[in-house]
Amino acid sequence: ANGLRNRIVHDYNGLDNEIAFNRVIDLLKYLKKFMEEVKEWLKKNC
């Protein structure tokens, strides 16, 4: 995690903003799916 932070903050090795942005969008999709699955599990088990 620190390596990514340093690359972003200090622009080490030239961070490609488009690649980083697309990766964040992908991660948000996975997070949304995970949250939906947790919500369904909670409905069934609580």
Q: Which amino acid is at 13?
A: N
Check residues 27 and 10 and name the one with the higher pLDDT.
27
Mean of the per-residue pLDDT values of the chain: 86
More confident residue, 35 or 16: 35
Q: Please enumerate in sequence order all residues whose Cβ is within 8 A of that of 15, keeping only pairs 6 or more positions apart, or say none.
A: 7, 8
CA distance 41 to 1: 30
**Sequence ranges of the domains in the chain:** 2-45
Which pTM value belongs to this model?
0.59
30-42 residue pLDDT tens:
999 999 999 999 9
Indicate the DSSP class of residue 14: -
